[in-house]
Structure 1
Amino acid sequence: MERNILAVGDVVAPAGVKYCKAALPRLRRELSVDFCVVNGENAAVLGMLPAQAEELLSAGADVITMGNHTWGRRELVPYLERSREVLRPANLPQQQPGRGWGVFETPFGDVAVIDLIGRCGMDYTPDNPFQLVERILRKIQTKLILVELHAEATSEKLAMGRMLDGQVSAVWGTHTHVPTADTMILPQGTGYVTDLGMTGPRDSVLGIRPELSIRRFRGDLPNRYEPAPGPCKLEACLFTIDDATGRCTAVRRVDIHG
């Protein structure tokens, strides 16, 4: 039987949390979503608060993934230790709190979710995600496997998708907050998109007030980033997976602009 998997792009700022909370239940109904993964690492602009995680989970997220701002709000640390539904990148140092992948029970069988972070163009040096994901996959028995790569470089995300083609159900990228138009099913049946985009302030630069980004790029005295005001948007992709084979049969963008 086919299952619909919704992957929602980086939720930015409290306004993005509010918009996702309002839109996600309707999306789940209208698209007959069976499982939903939401990236929440920018919910508090840099990081996510436990209360925001609870809001996203109550709205319909089955799993929340994180990225390079995982530790932006240290209030999340004890929450990560007790929450199975919030994943930080698996290739962060193992002494850091939380877990980077999990197998989640659903009415239609187990779903595995792996959260990874890229290394190209980033500000730190996590473990090699390409080697680590191979070790993780040896531990997973279920057919329905979802992989997120939170990365700057499109080439790194494309390489991950191609490497995992036929081994997992879907691979998607996050982090750049800009949606890509390359939804595809790879030759061996893995659904793919380079970047989901973002959920949050529409009239912005990656969710931030445009004038603040402009000042930084001009070389002016920088200001602390603030989320942009105004209407929001939600950017996501819907993957249709055959739960008997784990192969993706369809993938399409699901974008809402408020």
Structure 2
Amino acid sequence: MTAAMTVLAVGDVVGPEAAAWLADRLPHIREKLGLDWVVVNAENCAITGPLPMDGFGMTVEAVDLLLEAGVDAITGGNHSWDGPDVDKVLAYPQVIRPVNLDEDRGQGLLTLRYGDKTLTVVNMLSPTASLSGMTAPQPRPIWSSWTELEASEELPGAILIDLHGESPWEKASFAAALDGRVAAVVGTHTHDATLRGHILPDGTGYVAELGMTGPLGFTGGGFDPVHFVAKLRGEDFTKLPPYELATGPLALGAVALEIDDHGSVTKITRVH
């Protein structure tokens, strides 16, 4: 199937400073952990400070920085179609967007090959994820989309799925339904990292939430929470000043996945 490998999966990068901070550390992390592949969710890296919703998404500058630092695949989510550089970003062969949307731009999966090691990365978006600011259509249900993908596409080597969604129950159910059919299901979108990594009975690794890579201030999600608080209270948050990044130290939300030559996860390690 594929030779054994070690994969670093990194959760939502929030802001260009976090992208630069991660890029600066990646060569050392790669060498220290003996990584074969690095997969990064970067759908929030365009945010630079006080910006409207079109400040979400990715920029060419941040994508270039991450790729030059050794990132092999960049995934997205509900903000894959936001930002000033969306068409240019989605044209990169290393950038994938959720596969379960009816959208011509970009691609939903990427197969990485080096020697006898093969990893296929798939990006999926749950309907539970917030669609505010998103210009793409409503995502199709994840299970039927997955079965259609399996039937229509070659998915060689070990398979890693970045499932971008709100519900840990949905992510857990999806991982359990695919146990033994994919190497790992890793959750993104909610930004607060879950502690445990699970290895399911038939060898699929599962992590409910990789966590955010960005500033830890306020609630830990990388943003000043004033808009989210106003929305919770039923207030008109559109009248507030634009979204701002949080302050505070930067943190890494990531796990290292050790995958054997059968495409099964044998070890999950939190990388801080």
Q: TM-score, normalised by structure 1?
A: 0.91
Letter aligned with residue 94 of structure 1: E
Letter aligned with residue 91 of structure 1: N
CA distance in 2, matches of 1:197, 1:141: 26
Equivalences for 1:1-258 in 2 at 5 Å? 2-45=4-47, 46-81=56-91, 83-95=92-104, 97-120=105-128, 122-123=130-131, 125-138=138-151, 139-205=153-219, 206-210=221-225, 213-214=228-229, 217=232, 219=235, 222-242=240-260, 244-255=261-272
In proportion to residue count, which structure has more strand?
1
Residues 38-79 of structure 1, C-alpha deviation per residue, up to 9 Å, x if partnerless? 000000131000111111111121000011011211412133
Post-superposition offset of 1:31: 0.7
Unaligned ranges ≥5, structure 1:
none
Post-superposition offset of 1:80: 1.5
For these two proteins, the number of residue pairs brought into alignment is: 252
CA distance in 1, matches of 2:206, 2:98: 19
Post-superposition offset of 1:135: 2.5
SS state of the match for residue 72, structure 1? coil
Aligned residues of 1:19 and 1:233 also touching (Cα < 8 A) = no
Unaligned ranges ≥5, structure 2:
48-55, 132-136
CA distance in 1, matches of 2:229, 2:211: 21
Post-superposition offset of 1:197: 0.2
Q: In structure 2, do the counterparts of structure 1 residues 16 and 118 end up closer, same or farther at CA, with 3 Å as the change threshold? A: same
CA distance in 2, matches of 1:179, 1:137: 29
CA distance in 1, matches of 2:218, 2:46: 16
Letter aligned with residue 58 of structure 2: M
CA distance in 2, matches of 1:251, 1:60: 21
CA distance in 2, matches of 1:231, 1:22: 15
Post-superposition offset of 1:235: 1.0
Letter aligned with residue 171 of structure 2: K
Aligned residues of 1:143 and 1:168 also touching (Cα < 8 A) = no
Aligned residues of 1:41 and 1:70 also touching (Cα < 8 A) = yes
CA distance in 2, matches of 1:2, 1:40: 26
CA distance in 1, matches of 2:230, 2:109: 38
Residues 10-52 of structure 1, C-alpha deviation per residue, up to 9 Å, x if partnerless? 0001121121112221111111111110000000131000111
SS state of the match for residue 56, structure 1? helix
CA distance in 1, matches of 2:14, 2:94: 19
CA distance in 2, matches of 1:187, 1:74: 44
